[in-house]
Amino acid sequence: MKTPTLPPSKLPEVGTTIFTTMSALASEHGALNVAQGFPDLSPPTNLKEAVKRAIDEGYNQYAPMAGDPGLRAWISEMYIQAHGAFYNADSEITIGAGASSLLFAAIQALVFPGDEVIIVDPAYDLYAPAVHLAGGVIARAALPQPPNLGGPGGAIDPEVIRNLMSDKTKLVIINAPHNPTGACFTSEGLNELADVLSESNCFLFSDEVYGPMNHDGRPFLSAAGHPGLKNRTLVFGSFGKLLHATGWKIGWVTAPEEITRELRKIHQYDVFSTGAPIQRGLAQYLITDDASKHLRELGPIYEKKRDRLLKGLEGTAFIFSPAEGGYFQILDYSKLDSRGDIEVAREWTIKHGIATIPISPFRKRGSQEAKAEKRLRICFAKGDSTIDEAIEKLRAIDMYYKSR
């Protein structure tokens, strides 16, 4: 009997994601896991009750392909309230299996072989493989340096993007609060980006899954709220991130009607629809005062956690710029160890009992930038005792190197 020969890999550069790898290493060695980006906080009790109720009320068959109508209505209202942006709930908002599934569907819908796609660098690791599968080519726009390293901060450098643009550029993907650095949008950055894109034929994806988690009084800015960007922009959000429920995998995308029509053609044959009772429970919970309070407090809660972590690291040799938003903090360990970040992250997991995420997998594989990385990402969406344990382990690492 003949067995089929495996075709060449469509994604030869891709292995298991660094998040899965580091989490597996953490459990193998019993290390503290501040690596993968999930909160160890529980979803709001009333939300859990609403989801259970939805199951009992019979919302157990396929949800509508575009998503639960009540949930889409809430998203529409949220953009009006938070950003003064109107999206038609029927024709411009789609709910999928996390923001991931919609990012993937939208890239397949819009990117054709030979199209160029500009992503920020470092970038969330989903974008590049999805673009490659569509036959697109990636160009990477370095993020501005954070203020403590002499840069302006912020999540986009419009001048760098301008210099990378060509006739073939089809799409620019930005992300704020940014994973892994926590950088946030500034209104100047969005204004300048609108100017850069104004004469182009280019779509913009704004990955805003960490949405309102902006720290130190920064406003919750969205590309949706920028009149010069909205018509070319798809904005991605994630209920998993907002409600401490990443395992539920419910996300959304807003986009002009004609783009929504195209991306739904992929979405309907990919996941079709997702988690009906969870969507219903979300729709019922999100209109309550409890939910408004939860969302209002999200940024301040994470800001406090960030401050707890950074205060605990005062006096160590780690170099850091406080995360502007989101729930990740980058630590530069270059004063302690000159080796690459993957080697160091592995060693610290096994030897020092703390699992973190190296930054180089967010960059082009084998690039100078990736090879030069000496930074690790810590997820601080954790209970205070986990943060304190992380501090203890990081201080012990600091002492270990200093005493050698």
Q: Which residue, 273 or 316, is less far from ligand PLP as judged by CB?
A: 273
CB of 179 to ligand PLP, least distance (A): 4
Respond yes or no on whether the N-terminal peptide bond of residue 122 is cis (omega within 30° of 0): yes
207 interacts with ligand PLP by CB under 6 A? yes
CB of 126 to ligand PLP, least distance (A): 6
Residue in 43, 98, 189, 225 binding ligand PLP, rule: CB under 6 A:
98
Of 56, 19, 53, 49, give the one whose Cα is nearest residue 34: 19
| Residues 248/50, Cβ–Cβ less than 8 Å | no
CB of 137 to ligand PLP, least distance (A): 21
Q: State both tokens at 179.
A: 């994973």
Q: Which residue, 363 or 393, is less far from ligand PLP as judged by CB?
A: 363
Q: Build a one-symbol-per-residue string for 234-273: x at contacts with ligand PLP by CB under 6 A, - elsewhere.
A: ----x-x-----x--x-x----------------------
Q: Which residue, 37 or 277, is less far from ligand PLP as judged by CB?
A: 37
User: What are the residues whose beta carbons fall under 8 Å from the beta carbon of 15, sequence distance 6 or more?
Assistant: 21
CB of 402 to ligand PLP, least distance (A): 33
Q: Build a one-symbol-per-residue string for 357-386: x at contacts with ligand PLP by CB under 6 A, - elsewhere.
A: ------------------------------
Q: Which residue, 186 or 274, is less far from ligand PLP as judged by CB?
A: 274
Q: Which residue, 275 or 336, is less far from ligand PLP as judged by CB?
A: 275
CB of 376 to ligand PLP, least distance (A): 16
Contacts with ligand PLP by CB under 6 A: the residue count is: 14
State which of positions 5-64 bind ligand PLP (CB under 6 A). Answer: 37
- From 98-106, 266-274, 316-324, 330-338, give the range in contact with ligand PLP by CB under 6 A: 98-106
Q: Which residue, 72 or 249, is less far from ligand PLP as judged by CB?
A: 249
Residue in 79, 124, 220, 362 binding ligand PLP, rule: CB under 6 A:
124
State which of positions 143-202 bind ligand PLP (CB under 6 A). Answer: 175, 179
Q: Which residue, 98 or 358, is less far from ligand PLP as judged by CB?
A: 98
CB of 392 to ligand PLP, least distance (A): 26
Q: Which residue, 245 or 397, is less far from ligand PLP as judged by CB?
A: 245
Beta bridge partners of 332: 319, 375
CB of 268 to ligand PLP, least distance (A): 18
Q: Which residue, 378 or 397, is less far from ligand PLP as judged by CB?
A: 378
Q: Tell the residue number behind the tokens 């470092």, with chain if given.
A: 122
Rounded Cα distance between 138 and 365, Å, is: 12
Q: Is 267 left (phi over 0), alpha (psi -120 to 50) or beta?
A: alpha
CB of 307 to ligand PLP, least distance (A): 22
Residue in 21, 76, 94, 100 binding ligand PLP, rule: CB under 6 A:
100
**In this chain, which residue has its C-beta nearest to ligand PLP?**
98
State which of positions 316-355 bind ligand PLP (CB under 6 A). Answer: none
- From 94-102, 226-234, 277-285, 354-362, give the range in contact with ligand PLP by CB under 6 A: 94-102
CA-to-CA separations, 293 to 39, 74, 191, 290, 387, in angstroms, rounded: 18, 15, 31, 5, 24
- What does the binding site for ligand PLP look like in residue numbers (CB under 6 A)? 37, 98-100, 124, 175, 179, 207, 209, 238, 240, 246, 249, 251
